[in-house]
Amino acid sequence: MRERTWAPARRAGGTLIDKPRLTARALTGLGQTLVSGDLEAAIASLGPGAPLLGLYAPAPTAAHALRIARDRALIVTPTPLGAADGWRDGWCATTVDDGFAAIDVEGPDAALALSQGTSADLAVGSPSAAVLFAGLRCLLARTEAGFRLHVEAPWLEALLTWLDGA
Amino acid sequence: MTAFRLPEGGAVDRGQIFAFTFDGMPYSGFSGDSIASAMLANGVRVVGRSFKFRRPRGIWGAWIEEPNAIVNVTRSGRTTPNLRATTEALENDLAVRPVNAWPTAAQDRAALVDKLSAFMPSGFYYKTFLWPRWETFEPAIRAMAGLGIIDPDHRPPADNPHFNARCDVLVVGGGPAGLAAAAAAAGGGEVVLLIEDHADVGGQLVHRGGTIEGGEWRGWAASVRAAIELAGGRVMTSTTAYGVYDHNLVCAWERRVGRPDALWRVRPKRIVVAAGAIERPLVVPDNDRPGVMSADAALVYLRRFGVMVGRRIIVATNNDAAYPVAEALAEAGAEVAIFDARADSLPTKLDVWRDSEIEGVVGSSGVEGVRIAGQTRPADALLLSGGWTPTVHLYAQARGKLRYDEALAALVPGAEIDGVTVAGAANGAFTLDEALRQGHAAGGGRGVAPNAPAGGYRIAAHWPRPDAAGRRWIDFQSDVTLGDVALAGREGYVSVEHLKRYTTLGMATDQGKTANVNGLAAMAALTGRTIDETGTTTYRPPFVAVPMTVVGGRRRGALINPLKRLPLEPEHRADGAQLREYGGWLRPAWYGTDDPERTIQREAARARESVALFDGSSLGKIEIIGPDAARLADFNSYNRLSSLQPGKIRYGFLLSETGVVFDDGVTLRLADDRFLVSCSSGHTEAVVLRLELWRQDRFDPRRLVVHDTTAHWATLTVTGPRARDLLAALDLGVALDDASLPHMAFATGAFEGGPLRVARVSFTGDRSYELSVPARRARTLRARIVEKLPEFGGGLLGLEGLMILRAEKGYVVVGKDTDGTTMPHDLGVTGPREQRRDEYIGKRSLFTPAAEDKMRKQLVGLSVPRGEAPLPTGAHVVEGAGKARRSLGYVTSSAMSPTLGLPVALGLVEAGFARAGETVGVYHLGEERRASIAPAVALDPEGTRLHA
């Protein structure tokens, strides 16, 4: 490619990759809230009952939290929470509904894409769902037919370009 | 050598004929051939020229050890250089050429160089080409010595995947030891990944045969394969494990048919190296003649490809392994004699010359005879078997130490290292039964190892003597002779590492696989040391040459350095944006397809005259939240922020610990316990990291949090004298009067049910409003602004126009108008340095003697007369002339100001503040212009436009 020639970025919505053996579909309308500090208290307040998930853990359709660090997680809810941003008693929340793009990757080649994307030992797992995937910081969860990635929205096109060739 | 194809035999598909050319001559081969086997089958003797002396060379080996048959291969008009003819599969319509011969390998024009060999010992060019200078000769020498020519039109796609894999046991090598190890491990329930570099498993069994567990070996191998797969493992053929890295990460190159090759990164719990052994030559006179070949390779060509390497063959050896080769060739119809350096040879019906010493090879372009005991014996092939060299590379790369085994005349692995076990021929087990035993044990097998008839292997070391007569080659590919090693010794290069570099022994693309042991043995003899004392050079990956396409993988083109994308990119494209990279983001540079320079000038002028819209979404938006937020904000910033009132904004610098300006930006105080750091687009990740670092290292992380919200928000900036009018027309529900929303303050509101933040900050010097909304709402907001722009005579503004506006105002871009030494006082910002008593990052460094040096480079304006062209960015600001010319600094930013009608420029100039009004030179590409040192702010120094 020429340095100045960049393919137009795909907007997060609908089916983003549709190959015979690999598809990527955007999850839209999710609520995503960054919480830090006392995660137990944060989840109890913003997503009561939501499980705190580590690397490549099965992601439910209901509210769940993807752990990013010891004291940080992304609470994912089917719709935006609309919670007030700011400091609480020992924890804080920041709305990032539009900050992360989420995609479900499925198809017979999804496992191959996964083995290309990350060197993490998915069989062993990790308390944190954060991982470098295709060289990008992502949160990785398992789905029934493949896997789910949450990536900072500005990197979505880079991730899709990578998946196009996976 | 008059090699030829036998009417039957080999594993080639004789029903599928492939046409190919070598040096333009048409030939044919079969599916299943390598390029080398096909050339041999067609009687091609000279396949290339030696690297230095341009001597004719033939095929020596049959696999990765090949030093001579290095070729350029053209497929479908695209040429790939530097391929080994022995490992490349023959395909239809290949055009094959030697890498370094012209016009052909057989008729090379530079062959005369060999006549000058007496004047070209090792290192001769270091000593010879000194005057006038090396560079005078370098192009011609490189042209002669180079290996292949890159085809500039051959740009392979970036489609080689990199896979990650894990397993319990990684077995490298699918020979008997590797298979036994894999069988044992799989039998114990372990997940095994077995990697074999040939297209089939078996290793030496494929051409030497063998009986295992009472039957032909293939049945046993098939059962092992099934057992591996049953236990959840995998067998990967045509895959070469080429390197062991930290924590025993193993990288492997998989050659795939009909699909791009792949690179595998395998992280096993343990590794079994069963990579076999390579036959080394005997160092006899003229041992580089075409037709001199590895004995084991000759058997490979016979059994795998049905190719006989000659009709009258002499096998010279010092060990038992050559005898089965000689017998197989004789059985296939060749006239074979054995020259054994030992007195006690194996029993055989063949003609054996004991205690024999070869005195020379007759035939310059191919073996015609072999001289021994003063007479010449006719022959068309001379097969050399100097013993086995275990393939210990992966073990040695993993920091394993080798020891010399006298009985085997070989360097074998010493102490076992953590996680790596070596078995089979790689560990000196040169018989089938011993290889199976070792493999079984290495795989963790219990009970009895797979059974094979007892074998035997004897060798009498026959190392090269440094004083031996004749030209004897040690390293075929680097063209290093025994005489070169002796010369290196005489000149004091007796360390193997010095020997390697002085003679280039082992430095060619075969990495000395057939040469190194003979070379260090010669040096040992020369210096009176043992081989153990002499030691080896360091083994480093890769074991074989791996294509750069495979190493690079898919990270080329758009993936080598992907850019972040704006949420409004589709809208910018729809408006004709020309997108360029700025700080890792793809952003609009200007809009439309008119002449870029005129367009940029027009956009900048319009922004000054009326109103413009630019996308500031990429600016960092990092929140510091918590009871201790003000403390971290203060510590992170050169300018105090704890004194900032909620609702207000302050501009400032962030410094590195060395006091150098790290970034600049504005900080908004959202609440008493909440700040928003809006840093440069390209520095956001770094600022987040440093905030997190200091949060955890200096403060109580339970009272403080750093959240990066950059991606959540889109920011649209409306700037210009009519900016407020336009915003008023949008009716956003936010009071815009200067009392309610003064410069460096912000207000919040709502837009389409979501939050809206309106901040009065300016990077243009004009009244400006940054409107921030969650990204999903930005399209509507932008559409409304764009709809209103014409009403106010406004338009869109790209980054290039914005850069002009900020340069007119002397606003810095950190990293462009600053360098790795610039401190805040070099930019004229001294207040915090003089007034702050508390600690902040970089403070201590601001008071060192270097920081207080009066001759520091300082940011100034550079003015040139109206009518002149802008100064070149990067040009040197100089004083003096001729040889006395001295650089004072350089131009950091430069533009034509449409508002002022003259060029404006910024520069970092030594003691720049004290030079105000001084005329200096500006030197660029041999030309010098004059400029005068001026204030950095060229437009509206009073700042009235911010409030206009």
- β B78-84/B70-75 pair status: antiparallel
The predicted pLDDT at position B130 comes to 85
Measure CB to CB from residue A161 to each of B562, B627, B776 and give the nearest one.
Answer: B562
**Alpha-carbon span B919 to B923, nearest angstrom:** 13
Per the structure block, which two tokens stand in for B595? 């002449």
Please judge whether B673 and A87 are an interchain contact, meaning their C-beta atoms are less than 8 angstroms apart: yes
Query: How does pLDDT run across B349-405, given as a tens digit for each residue?
Result: 999 999 999 999 999 899 999 999 899 999 999 999 999 999 999 999 999 999 999
DSSP B49-80: E-TTT--EE----SSTT-SS-EEEEEETTEEE
Residue B134 scores a pLDDT above 90: no
- Least CA distance to B702: which residue of chain A? A37
Dist CA B220 CA B752 (whole Å):
73
Mind listing the pLDDT tens digit for each residue in A69-79? 999 999 999 99
Cis, peptide link before residue B103, omega less than 30° from 0: yes
Burial of B593 (0-12, 13-18, 19+ CB in 10 A): exposed
CA distance A70 to chain B (A): 11
Q: Which residues of B touch A97 (CB under 8 A)?
A: 712, 774, 776
Tell me the H-state helices in B613-716: 629-636, 684-698
Which residue in chain B is spatially nearest to A87 when comparing CA positions?
B626
B43 token code pair:
């009687």
Which two structure tokens, joined as six digits, stand for B264? 């595998």
| Residue A1 pLDDT | 59
Cα torsion B802, B619, B572, B730 to 10°: value is -90
User: Would the pLDDT of B565 be above 60?
Assistant: yes
The pLDDT of residue B169 is above 80: yes
B592: left (phi over 0), alpha (psi -120 to 50) or beta: left
Report the pLDDT value the prediction gives residue B145, as an integer from 0 to 100. 74
Q: In the predicted model, what is the mean pLDDT of chain B?
A: 96
Least CB–CB distance from A98: residue in B163, B586, B712: B712
pLDDT digits (tens, 9 = 90+) for B628-677: 999 999 999 999 999 999 999 999 999 999 999 999 999 999 999 999 99
**pLDDT-based confidence at A5, cuts 50/70/90?**
confident
The pLDDT tens digits for B804-863 are 999 999 999 999 999 999 999 999 999 999 999 999 999 999 999 999 999 999 999 999
Sequence-ordered list of residues with C-beta below 8 angstroms from that of B693, at least 6 positions apart, any chain: none
Q: Residue B148 — pLDDT band, cuts 50, 70, 90? A: confident
- Residue-level pLDDT at A2: 65
Residue with the two structure tokens 């205690």: B355
Query: Would the CB atoms of B558 and A152 count as touching at under 8 Å?
Result: no
Interface contact A11, partner B, CB < 8 A: yes
A118 touches chain B (CB under 8 A): yes
Contact B707, A36 (CB under 8 A): yes
> DSSP readout, B333-379?
T-EEEEEESSSSPPP-SSEEETT--EEEEE-SSS--EEEETTEEEE-
pLDDT at B1 over 70: no
- CB-CB: which of A9, A37, A86 is closest to B671? A86
pLDDT one-digit tens code per residue, B452-511: 999 999 999 999 988 899 999 999 999 999 999 999 999 999 999 999 999 999 999 999
Query: Within an 8 Å CB–CB cutoff, is residue A92 touching chain B?
Result: yes
Mutation for A interface: B155, B162, B166, most A CBs within 10 A = B166
Task: Give yes or no for A30 touching B (CB within 8 A).
Answer: no
Cis peptide preceding B542, ω within 30 of 0: yes
Rounded mean pLDDT of B890-915?
98
**What is the predicted pLDDT for the residue at A21?**
97
Measured between CB atoms, which of A97, A158, A166 is closest to B774? A97
Query: For residue B67, is pLDDT > 80?
Result: yes
Chain B residues close to A115, C-beta within 8 Å = 163-165
Predicted ipTM beyond 0.85: yes
pLDDT at residue B465, rounded to an integer: 87
Residue among B716, B489, B505, B514 nearest B616 (CA): B716
Helix (H, G, I), strand (E, B) or coil at B457: coil
Which residues on chain A are in Cβ contact (under 8 Å) with B701?
71
**For B258-279, how does the pLDDT look when each residue is reduced to its tens digit (9 = 90+)?**
999 999 999 999 999 999 999 9
**Parallel, antiparallel or unpaired: strands B388-390 and B335-340:** unpaired
Cβ-defined contact of B579 to A36 (cutoff 8 Å): no
Residue B948 neighbours by CB under 8 Å, 6+ apart? B721, B766, B767
Distance in angstroms (rounded) separating the CA atoms of residues B113 and B54: 6
Q: Would you call B165 and A115 a contact, using CB atoms and an 8 Å cutoff? A: yes
Task: Please compute the mean of the pLDDT values over residues B901-914 and round it to a whole number.
Answer: 98
Output the six-digit token pair for B555: 């990270």
Task: Quick: pLDDT tens for B93-130.
Answer: 999 999 989 999 999 999 999 999 888 888 887 788 88
* Closest C-alpha to B566, from B555, B582, B550: B582
Using a CB-CB distance cutoff of 8 angstroms, which residues of chain A are in contact with residue B776? Answer: 97-98
In sequence order, what are the residues at sequence separation of 6 or more whose Cβ sits closer than 8 angstroms to the Cβ of residue B750?
B733, B756
SS3 A58: strand
Q: Strand B48-49 relative to strand B56-57: parallel, antiparallel, unpaired? A: antiparallel
Q: How far is B140 from chain A (nearest CA, A)?
A: 33
Instruction: Return the pLDDT at A105.
Output: 98
The structure tokens 């959202």 sit at: B670
Mean pLDDT of B912-936: 97
Percent of all residues in chain A with a pLDDT value above 90, rounded to a whole number: 97
| Mutant choice from B162, B247, B250, B554 vs A, greatest count of A C-beta within 10 A | B554
Three-state secondary structure call for residue B286: coil
Alpha-carbon separation of residue B661 from A135, B681, B826, B860 (angstroms): 29, 15, 10, 16
Q: CA of B85, closest CA in chain A: separation in Å?
A: 31
**What percentage of chain B has pLDDT greater than the value 90?**
93
Report pLDDT for A3: 62
